[in-house]
Structure 1
Amino acid sequence: MKDYQREFIDFALQNNVLKFGSFTLKSNRVSPYFFNAGLFNSGKTLGAIGRFYAAALVDAGFSYDVLFGPAYKGIPLVCATALALTNEHNQEAPFAFNRKEKKDHGEGGDIVGTPLSGKIVVVDDVITAGTAINESIGIIKANNASLAGVLVAVDRAEVAPDGSGKSAIQAVQEKNGVPVRAIITMDHIMEYMEEKGTYGEQLTLMREYKAQYGIKQ
Protein backbone atom coordinates (compact mmCIF):
# COMPACT_ATOMS: atom_id res chain seq x y z
CA MET A 1 0.00 0.00 0.00
CA LYS A 2 1.32 3.43 -0.98
CA ASP A 3 1.45 6.37 1.41
CA TYR A 4 -1.30 8.27 -0.41
CA GLN A 5 -3.60 5.24 -0.13
CA ARG A 6 -3.01 4.95 3.61
CA GLU A 7 -3.61 8.71 3.98
CA PHE A 8 -6.81 8.41 1.93
CA ILE A 9 -8.19 5.72 4.25
CA ASP A 10 -7.25 7.84 7.28
CA PHE A 11 -9.00 10.83 5.75
CA ALA A 12 -12.10 8.84 4.78
CA LEU A 13 -12.43 7.47 8.33
CA GLN A 14 -11.98 10.89 9.92
CA ASN A 15 -14.76 12.32 7.76
CA ASN A 16 -17.16 9.35 8.17
CA VAL A 17 -16.91 8.60 4.46
CA LEU A 18 -15.66 5.11 5.33
CA LYS A 19 -17.61 3.35 8.08
CA PHE A 20 -17.57 -0.11 9.62
CA GLY A 21 -20.77 -1.79 10.81
CA SER A 22 -23.66 -3.53 9.08
CA PHE A 23 -24.93 -1.99 5.83
CA THR A 24 -27.53 -3.44 3.45
CA LEU A 25 -26.49 -2.70 -0.14
CA LYS A 26 -28.70 -2.37 -3.23
CA SER A 27 -27.78 -5.98 -3.98
CA ASN A 28 -29.31 -6.92 -0.57
CA ARG A 29 -25.90 -8.11 0.59
CA VAL A 30 -25.08 -7.09 4.16
CA SER A 31 -21.67 -5.42 4.00
CA PRO A 32 -19.38 -4.89 7.01
CA TYR A 33 -18.22 -1.57 5.58
CA PHE A 34 -19.63 1.32 3.58
CA PHE A 35 -18.00 4.10 1.56
CA ASN A 36 -20.06 7.23 0.89
CA ALA A 37 -18.22 9.58 -1.46
CA GLY A 38 -21.16 11.99 -1.26
CA LEU A 39 -19.77 13.16 2.08
CA PHE A 40 -16.82 14.83 0.34
CA ASN A 41 -18.98 17.93 0.41
CA SER A 42 -16.88 20.84 1.64
CA GLY A 43 -13.97 22.87 0.32
CA LYS A 44 -11.58 21.11 2.69
CA THR A 45 -12.69 17.59 1.79
CA LEU A 46 -12.93 18.34 -1.93
CA GLY A 47 -9.40 19.76 -1.95
CA ALA A 48 -8.12 16.63 -0.24
CA ILE A 49 -9.97 14.19 -2.50
CA GLY A 50 -8.58 15.97 -5.53
CA ARG A 51 -5.05 15.35 -4.27
CA PHE A 52 -5.78 11.65 -3.71
CA TYR A 53 -7.32 11.23 -7.17
CA ALA A 54 -4.37 13.06 -8.74
CA ALA A 55 -1.87 10.85 -6.90
CA ALA A 56 -3.71 7.71 -8.02
CA LEU A 57 -3.89 8.92 -11.63
CA VAL A 58 -0.15 9.61 -11.71
CA ASP A 59 0.50 6.26 -10.01
CA ALA A 60 -1.63 4.48 -12.63
CA GLY A 61 0.47 6.02 -15.41
CA PHE A 62 -2.56 7.02 -17.46
CA SER A 63 -1.79 8.97 -20.63
CA TYR A 64 -4.61 11.38 -21.42
CA ASP A 65 -5.60 14.48 -23.33
CA VAL A 66 -8.75 15.33 -21.36
CA LEU A 67 -10.24 14.28 -18.02
CA PHE A 68 -14.00 13.69 -18.08
CA GLY A 69 -16.32 13.87 -15.07
CA PRO A 70 -19.79 12.36 -15.61
CA ALA A 71 -22.72 14.38 -14.29
CA TYR A 72 -23.39 14.77 -11.51
CA LYS A 73 -20.99 13.28 -8.94
CA GLY A 74 -18.07 13.27 -11.35
CA ILE A 75 -18.23 17.03 -11.91
CA PRO A 76 -16.65 18.25 -8.63
CA LEU A 77 -14.30 15.25 -8.65
CA VAL A 78 -12.85 16.01 -12.08
CA CYS A 79 -12.49 19.72 -11.22
CA ALA A 80 -10.65 18.92 -7.98
CA THR A 81 -8.45 16.33 -9.70
CA ALA A 82 -7.45 18.71 -12.50
CA LEU A 83 -6.60 21.43 -9.96
CA ALA A 84 -4.46 19.04 -7.90
CA LEU A 85 -2.65 17.72 -10.98
CA THR A 86 -1.60 21.27 -11.82
CA ASN A 87 -0.75 22.38 -8.27
CA GLU A 88 0.80 19.17 -6.95
CA HIS A 89 2.24 17.49 -10.06
CA ASN A 90 2.78 20.40 -12.47
CA GLN A 91 0.62 18.69 -15.10
CA GLU A 92 -1.65 20.56 -17.46
CA ALA A 93 -5.01 18.87 -17.01
CA PRO A 94 -7.79 19.89 -19.44
CA PHE A 95 -11.16 18.69 -18.19
CA ALA A 96 -14.78 18.46 -19.26
CA PHE A 97 -18.13 17.26 -17.95
CA ASN A 98 -21.53 16.68 -19.44
CA ARG A 99 -24.94 18.21 -18.96
CA LYS A 100 -27.84 15.86 -18.40
CA GLU A 101 -29.97 18.11 -20.61
CA LYS A 102 -28.68 19.52 -23.88
CA LYS A 103 -28.49 23.31 -24.08
CA ASP A 104 -29.90 24.83 -27.27
CA HIS A 105 -28.74 28.42 -26.69
CA GLY A 106 -25.44 30.13 -26.00
CA GLU A 107 -22.61 27.71 -26.78
CA GLY A 108 -25.12 24.84 -26.91
CA GLY A 109 -24.36 21.15 -26.71
CA ASP A 110 -24.08 18.79 -23.77
CA ILE A 111 -20.34 19.12 -22.98
CA VAL A 112 -18.93 21.83 -20.72
CA GLY A 113 -15.22 22.59 -20.65
CA THR A 114 -12.51 21.32 -22.97
CA PRO A 115 -13.86 19.61 -26.11
CA LEU A 116 -13.63 15.83 -25.87
CA SER A 117 -10.89 14.75 -28.26
CA GLY A 118 -7.98 12.34 -28.19
CA LYS A 119 -7.51 10.09 -25.15
CA ILE A 120 -10.03 10.50 -22.34
CA VAL A 121 -9.78 9.36 -18.71
CA VAL A 122 -13.09 9.20 -16.82
CA VAL A 123 -13.02 10.36 -13.19
CA ASP A 124 -15.96 9.17 -11.07
CA ASP A 125 -16.78 7.98 -7.55
CA VAL A 126 -17.61 4.28 -7.98
CA ILE A 127 -18.63 1.68 -10.55
CA THR A 128 -21.53 -0.47 -9.40
CA ALA A 129 -23.71 -1.90 -12.17
CA GLY A 130 -21.63 -0.23 -14.88
CA THR A 131 -24.60 1.74 -16.25
CA ALA A 132 -23.12 5.19 -15.60
CA ILE A 133 -19.73 4.35 -17.07
CA ASN A 134 -21.40 2.95 -20.19
CA GLU A 135 -23.19 6.28 -20.61
CA SER A 136 -19.85 8.09 -20.36
CA ILE A 137 -18.30 5.78 -22.95
CA GLY A 138 -21.21 6.55 -25.29
CA ILE A 139 -20.60 10.29 -24.88
CA ILE A 140 -16.87 9.87 -25.53
CA LYS A 141 -17.47 7.82 -28.68
CA ALA A 142 -20.09 10.30 -29.91
CA ASN A 143 -17.37 12.95 -29.79
CA ASN A 144 -14.94 10.75 -31.79
CA ALA A 145 -12.62 10.47 -28.80
CA SER A 146 -11.25 7.29 -27.23
CA LEU A 147 -11.47 5.98 -23.67
CA ALA A 148 -7.97 5.61 -22.18
CA GLY A 149 -8.88 4.65 -18.62
CA VAL A 150 -11.23 5.05 -15.70
CA LEU A 151 -10.37 6.25 -12.19
CA VAL A 152 -12.68 5.73 -9.21
CA ALA A 153 -12.35 6.06 -5.44
CA VAL A 154 -12.91 2.46 -4.29
CA ASP A 155 -12.90 -0.98 -5.89
CA ARG A 156 -15.01 -3.25 -3.68
CA ALA A 157 -13.64 -6.18 -5.73
CA GLU A 158 -16.75 -8.30 -5.25
CA VAL A 159 -18.61 -10.34 -7.80
CA ALA A 160 -21.66 -8.75 -9.38
CA PRO A 161 -25.06 -10.27 -8.53
CA ASP A 162 -25.53 -11.28 -12.20
CA GLY A 163 -23.82 -14.64 -11.75
CA SER A 164 -20.93 -13.79 -14.10
CA GLY A 165 -18.32 -14.29 -11.39
CA LYS A 166 -16.85 -10.92 -12.33
CA SER A 167 -16.95 -7.56 -10.61
CA ALA A 168 -18.50 -4.54 -12.30
CA ILE A 169 -14.99 -3.12 -12.76
CA GLN A 170 -13.69 -6.34 -14.34
CA ALA A 171 -16.67 -6.33 -16.72
CA VAL A 172 -15.96 -2.75 -17.80
CA GLN A 173 -12.26 -3.53 -18.32
CA GLU A 174 -12.94 -6.61 -20.43
CA LYS A 175 -15.74 -5.07 -22.48
CA ASN A 176 -13.77 -1.93 -23.37
CA GLY A 177 -10.18 -3.14 -23.23
CA VAL A 178 -9.12 -0.29 -20.95
CA PRO A 179 -7.71 -0.19 -17.42
CA VAL A 180 -9.90 0.79 -14.48
CA ARG A 181 -8.02 1.92 -11.40
CA ALA A 182 -9.16 2.85 -7.89
CA ILE A 183 -7.49 4.93 -5.20
CA ILE A 184 -8.03 1.99 -2.84
CA THR A 185 -9.49 -1.53 -2.89
CA MET A 186 -11.08 -3.65 -0.20
CA ASP A 187 -7.69 -5.33 0.25
CA HIS A 188 -6.11 -1.96 1.04
CA ILE A 189 -8.76 -1.31 3.70
CA MET A 190 -8.09 -4.72 5.27
CA GLU A 191 -4.33 -4.12 5.15
CA TYR A 192 -4.88 -0.82 6.94
CA MET A 193 -6.99 -2.54 9.61
CA GLU A 194 -4.28 -5.16 10.12
CA GLU A 195 -1.63 -2.45 10.50
CA LYS A 196 -3.68 -0.63 13.13
CA GLY A 197 -4.33 -3.82 15.08
CA THR A 198 -7.49 -2.45 16.70
CA TYR A 199 -10.15 -3.78 14.34
CA GLY A 200 -10.32 -7.41 15.51
CA GLU A 201 -14.04 -8.18 15.08
CA GLN A 202 -14.53 -5.86 12.10
CA LEU A 203 -11.52 -7.38 10.32
CA THR A 204 -12.91 -10.88 10.85
CA LEU A 205 -16.21 -9.77 9.26
CA MET A 206 -14.33 -8.18 6.36
CA ARG A 207 -12.46 -11.43 5.71
CA GLU A 208 -15.68 -13.44 5.84
CA TYR A 209 -17.38 -11.03 3.42
CA LYS A 210 -14.47 -11.23 1.00
CA ALA A 211 -14.47 -15.04 1.19
CA GLN A 212 -18.17 -15.08 0.31
CA TYR A 213 -18.39 -12.31 -2.30
CA GLY A 214 -14.86 -11.38 -3.33
CA ILE A 215 -13.66 -11.90 -6.89
CA LYS A 216 -11.26 -14.75 -7.54
CA GLN A 217 -7.87 -13.25 -8.38
Structure 2
Amino acid sequence: MSSTKLDPAKVTFIEDAIASGVLLFGTFELKSGRVSPYFFNAGLLHSSSLLSSTSSALAQLIAHSRIPEFDVLFGPAYKGIPLAAVTCVALKRDYGRECGFGYNRKEVKDHGEGGSLVGAPLRGRIVIIDDVLTSGKAIREAIDIIAQYPEAQLVGVAQLVDRQETGKGASGKSTVQEVEEEFGIPVEAVLTMANILDYLREKGGMEEELKAIEEYDKQYGIKK
Protein backbone atom coordinates (compact mmCIF):
# COMPACT_ATOMS: atom_id res chain seq x y z
CA MET A 1 0.00 0.00 0.00
CA SER A 2 1.65 3.22 -1.09
CA SER A 3 1.82 6.32 1.04
CA THR A 4 -0.25 9.31 -0.03
CA LYS A 5 -0.30 12.90 1.16
CA LEU A 6 -3.00 13.19 3.80
CA ASP A 7 -5.57 15.96 3.81
CA PRO A 8 -4.68 18.53 6.52
CA ALA A 9 -8.09 18.02 8.16
CA LYS A 10 -7.36 14.30 8.55
CA VAL A 11 -3.93 15.05 10.02
CA THR A 12 -5.48 17.43 12.56
CA PHE A 13 -8.13 14.87 13.46
CA ILE A 14 -5.56 12.08 13.90
CA GLU A 15 -3.25 14.24 16.01
CA ASP A 16 -6.11 15.44 18.21
CA ALA A 17 -7.27 11.83 18.63
CA ILE A 18 -3.78 10.64 19.61
CA ALA A 19 -3.18 13.54 22.01
CA SER A 20 -6.48 12.90 23.79
CA GLY A 21 -6.13 9.12 23.99
CA VAL A 22 -9.02 8.52 21.60
CA LEU A 23 -6.65 6.81 19.14
CA LEU A 24 -4.42 4.43 21.03
CA PHE A 25 -1.56 2.17 19.98
CA GLY A 26 -0.71 -1.03 21.83
CA THR A 27 -2.46 -4.37 22.22
CA PHE A 28 -6.26 -4.47 22.24
CA GLU A 29 -8.60 -7.44 22.03
CA LEU A 30 -11.60 -6.61 19.84
CA LYS A 31 -15.13 -8.02 19.99
CA SER A 32 -14.18 -10.12 16.99
CA GLY A 33 -11.49 -11.82 19.08
CA ARG A 34 -8.69 -10.32 17.01
CA VAL A 35 -5.82 -8.62 18.80
CA SER A 36 -5.41 -5.17 17.25
CA PRO A 37 -2.35 -2.89 17.49
CA TYR A 38 -4.61 0.19 17.57
CA PHE A 39 -7.96 1.16 19.02
CA PHE A 40 -10.32 4.10 18.48
CA ASN A 41 -12.43 4.98 21.53
CA ALA A 42 -15.15 7.41 20.46
CA GLY A 43 -16.44 7.47 24.03
CA LEU A 44 -13.58 9.83 24.88
CA LEU A 45 -14.74 12.49 22.43
CA HIS A 46 -16.11 14.63 25.23
CA SER A 47 -14.24 17.95 25.20
CA SER A 48 -15.23 21.05 23.23
CA SER A 49 -12.03 20.99 21.15
CA LEU A 50 -12.40 17.30 20.26
CA LEU A 51 -16.06 17.65 19.42
CA SER A 52 -15.22 20.67 17.27
CA SER A 53 -12.56 18.86 15.24
CA THR A 54 -14.73 15.74 15.01
CA SER A 55 -17.78 17.62 13.77
CA SER A 56 -15.69 19.54 11.23
CA ALA A 57 -14.18 16.32 9.90
CA LEU A 58 -17.56 14.60 9.63
CA ALA A 59 -19.18 17.63 7.99
CA GLN A 60 -16.36 17.81 5.44
CA LEU A 61 -16.73 14.09 4.76
CA ILE A 62 -20.47 14.39 4.16
CA ALA A 63 -20.13 17.49 2.02
CA HIS A 64 -17.41 16.11 -0.26
CA SER A 65 -18.01 12.34 -0.43
CA ARG A 66 -20.37 10.04 -2.27
CA ILE A 67 -23.11 10.65 0.30
CA PRO A 68 -25.98 12.38 -1.55
CA GLU A 69 -28.25 15.18 -0.37
CA PHE A 70 -30.31 14.17 2.65
CA ASP A 71 -32.87 15.43 5.15
CA VAL A 72 -32.06 13.75 8.48
CA LEU A 73 -28.92 12.55 10.25
CA PHE A 74 -29.81 9.51 12.34
CA GLY A 75 -27.48 8.70 15.26
CA PRO A 76 -27.97 5.22 16.74
CA ALA A 77 -27.81 5.05 20.53
CA TYR A 78 -25.49 5.68 22.13
CA LYS A 79 -22.31 6.95 20.45
CA GLY A 80 -24.11 8.02 17.31
CA ILE A 81 -26.27 10.51 19.22
CA PRO A 82 -23.67 13.23 19.95
CA LEU A 83 -22.04 12.66 16.55
CA ALA A 84 -25.34 13.38 14.81
CA ALA A 85 -25.97 16.50 16.90
CA VAL A 86 -22.56 18.15 16.47
CA THR A 87 -22.34 17.24 12.77
CA CYS A 88 -25.76 18.72 12.12
CA VAL A 89 -24.50 22.01 13.60
CA ALA A 90 -21.21 21.84 11.66
CA LEU A 91 -22.96 21.26 8.34
CA LYS A 92 -24.97 24.46 8.84
CA ARG A 93 -21.98 26.44 10.13
CA ASP A 94 -19.43 25.34 7.54
CA TYR A 95 -21.53 24.57 4.46
CA GLY A 96 -24.87 26.28 4.97
CA ARG A 97 -26.62 22.92 4.77
CA GLU A 98 -29.84 22.54 6.71
CA CYS A 99 -30.80 19.11 8.08
CA GLY A 100 -32.50 17.53 11.04
CA PHE A 101 -31.12 14.99 13.46
CA GLY A 102 -32.74 12.22 15.41
CA TYR A 103 -31.87 9.15 17.42
CA ASN A 104 -33.40 6.08 19.01
CA ARG A 105 -33.79 5.11 22.61
CA LYS A 106 -32.58 1.71 23.73
CA GLU A 107 -35.83 1.35 25.66
CA VAL A 108 -39.27 2.59 24.63
CA LYS A 109 -40.50 5.50 26.76
CA ASP A 110 -44.04 5.00 28.06
CA HIS A 111 -44.61 8.51 29.45
CA GLY A 112 -44.27 12.10 28.26
CA GLU A 113 -43.97 12.15 24.47
CA GLY A 114 -43.40 8.38 24.56
CA GLY A 115 -41.98 6.22 21.82
CA SER A 116 -38.50 5.03 20.93
CA LEU A 117 -37.39 7.91 18.68
CA VAL A 118 -36.30 11.44 19.61
CA GLY A 119 -35.71 14.45 17.37
CA ALA A 120 -36.48 14.79 13.68
CA PRO A 121 -39.13 12.42 12.30
CA LEU A 122 -37.78 9.62 10.14
CA ARG A 123 -39.05 10.71 6.76
CA GLY A 124 -37.29 11.78 3.61
CA ARG A 125 -33.66 10.90 2.89
CA ILE A 126 -31.78 9.51 5.89
CA VAL A 127 -28.06 9.22 6.60
CA ILE A 128 -26.87 7.10 9.52
CA ILE A 129 -23.88 8.44 11.43
CA ASP A 130 -21.79 6.39 13.88
CA ASP A 131 -18.25 5.76 15.09
CA VAL A 132 -16.98 2.42 13.75
CA LEU A 133 -18.58 -0.45 11.84
CA THR A 134 -17.18 -3.68 13.24
CA SER A 135 -19.40 -6.77 13.08
CA GLY A 136 -22.22 -4.83 11.43
CA LYS A 137 -24.78 -5.69 14.13
CA ALA A 138 -25.37 -2.09 15.26
CA ILE A 139 -25.65 -0.66 11.75
CA ARG A 140 -28.14 -3.35 10.74
CA GLU A 141 -30.24 -2.58 13.81
CA ALA A 142 -30.29 1.10 12.75
CA ILE A 143 -31.23 0.12 9.19
CA ASP A 144 -34.06 -2.03 10.55
CA ILE A 145 -35.39 0.95 12.54
CA ILE A 146 -35.42 3.18 9.46
CA ALA A 147 -37.12 0.44 7.43
CA GLN A 148 -40.12 0.62 9.78
CA TYR A 149 -40.96 4.11 8.47
CA PRO A 150 -42.47 4.06 4.96
CA GLU A 151 -41.63 7.72 4.31
CA ALA A 152 -37.92 7.20 5.12
CA GLN A 153 -35.26 6.29 2.57
CA LEU A 154 -31.74 5.35 3.68
CA VAL A 155 -29.23 7.01 1.33
CA GLY A 156 -25.87 6.62 3.10
CA VAL A 157 -23.76 5.98 6.17
CA ALA A 158 -21.04 8.24 7.62
CA GLN A 159 -18.61 6.87 10.16
CA LEU A 160 -15.48 8.02 11.95
CA VAL A 161 -13.25 5.01 11.26
CA ASP A 162 -13.21 2.25 8.66
CA ARG A 163 -10.85 -0.45 9.92
CA GLN A 164 -10.72 -1.89 6.37
CA GLU A 165 -10.48 -5.46 7.54
CA THR A 166 -12.27 -8.59 6.46
CA GLY A 167 -15.17 -9.98 8.38
CA LYS A 168 -15.38 -13.54 9.62
CA GLY A 169 -17.35 -14.71 6.61
CA ALA A 170 -15.95 -16.53 3.60
CA SER A 171 -16.50 -13.58 1.25
CA GLY A 172 -13.25 -11.86 2.23
CA LYS A 173 -15.15 -8.56 2.28
CA SER A 174 -15.31 -6.02 5.07
CA THR A 175 -18.47 -5.08 6.93
CA VAL A 176 -18.47 -1.78 5.03
CA GLN A 177 -18.28 -3.54 1.66
CA GLU A 178 -21.05 -5.96 2.66
CA VAL A 179 -23.37 -3.15 3.78
CA GLU A 180 -22.71 -1.17 0.59
CA GLU A 181 -23.50 -4.14 -1.61
CA GLU A 182 -26.52 -5.39 0.34
CA PHE A 183 -28.29 -2.05 0.70
CA GLY A 184 -26.94 -0.20 -2.34
CA ILE A 185 -25.73 2.82 -0.38
CA PRO A 186 -22.35 4.53 0.09
CA VAL A 187 -20.55 4.06 3.40
CA GLU A 188 -17.94 6.77 3.96
CA ALA A 189 -15.37 7.23 6.75
CA VAL A 190 -13.31 10.14 8.06
CA LEU A 191 -10.38 7.81 8.69
CA THR A 192 -9.33 4.43 7.35
CA MET A 193 -6.60 2.05 8.36
CA ALA A 194 -4.74 3.26 5.26
CA ASN A 195 -4.94 6.86 6.52
CA ILE A 196 -3.46 5.87 9.87
CA LEU A 197 -0.62 4.04 8.13
CA ASP A 198 0.04 7.03 5.89
CA TYR A 199 0.13 9.34 8.89
CA LEU A 200 2.64 7.16 10.72
CA ARG A 201 4.84 6.97 7.62
CA GLU A 202 4.79 10.73 7.11
CA LYS A 203 5.29 11.59 10.77
CA GLY A 204 8.16 9.19 11.48
CA GLY A 205 9.39 8.28 14.93
CA MET A 206 6.69 5.65 15.50
CA GLU A 207 8.30 2.75 13.67
CA GLU A 208 7.13 0.06 16.12
CA GLU A 209 3.50 1.18 15.87
CA LEU A 210 3.78 1.39 12.08
CA LYS A 211 5.26 -2.10 11.77
CA ALA A 212 2.59 -3.61 14.03
CA ILE A 213 -0.27 -2.08 12.00
CA GLU A 214 1.34 -3.09 8.70
CA GLU A 215 1.54 -6.70 9.93
CA TYR A 216 -2.06 -6.56 11.11
CA ASP A 217 -3.12 -5.17 7.75
CA LYS A 218 -1.35 -8.00 5.93
CA GLN A 219 -3.19 -10.54 8.04
CA TYR A 220 -6.68 -9.07 8.20
CA GLY A 221 -6.84 -6.15 5.76
CA ILE A 222 -9.08 -6.19 2.74
CA LYS A 223 -7.55 -6.10 -0.72
CA LYS A 224 -7.29 -2.44 -1.70
Q: What is the TM-score of this pair, normalised by structure 1?
A: 0.95
**Which residue does the alignment assign to 1:77?**
83
1:196 aligns with 2:203: yes
Q: How does 1:166-177 map to 2 (within 5 A)?
A: 166-177=173-184
Q: Does residue 1:37 correspond to 2:42, yes or no? A: yes
What letter matches 1:5 in structure 2? K
| Distance of 1:137 and 1:27 partners within structure 2 | 21
The answer as to 2:214 corresponding to 1:215 is: no
Quick check: 2:17–2:23 contact (8 Å CA) kept in 1?
yes
Match of 2:164 in 1: 157
Correspondent of 1:54 among 43, 55, 59: 59
Distance 1:101 1:115 in 2: 18
TM-score (ref. length: structure 2): 0.92
> Which stretch of the first structure deviates more once superposed, 66-75 or 199-208?
199-208
The total of aligned residue pairs comes to 217
The yes-or-no answer on 1:8 pairing with 2:13 is yes
1:148 and 1:64 map into 2 onto residues whose CA distance is 7
Give identity over the alignment, percent.
Answer: 49
Paired residue type of 1:70: P
How far 1:209 sits from its partner (Å)?
0.9
For 2:14 and 2:23, locate their aligned partners in 1 and report how far apart those are by CA, in whole Å. Answer: 8
Q: Which amino acid aligns with 1:100?
A: K
Runs of 5+ in structure 2 lacking a partner?
A: 1-5
Kindly state the Cα deviation for residue 61 of structure 1 after the two structures are TM-superposed.
4.5
Separation in structure 2 between the aligned mates of residue 194 and residue 173 of structure 1, nearest angstrom: 30
- 2:136–2:175 CA contact under 8 A, matched in 1: yes
Write the mapping of 1:51-130 to structure 2, written as runs, cut at 5 A. Answer: 51-62=56-67, 63-130=69-136
Q: 2:77 touches 2:103 (CA, 8 Å); kept in 1?
A: yes
RMSD across aligned C-alpha pairs, in angstroms?
1.4
Which runs of structure 2 are paired with 1:172-183 in the superposition (5 Å)? Answer: 172-183=179-190
Find the counterpart in structure 1 of residue 143 from structure 2.
137
Query: Partner of 2:154: helix, strand, or coil?
Result: strand
Letter in 1 for 2:144: G
Q: Which runs of 5+ in 1 are unaligned?
A: none
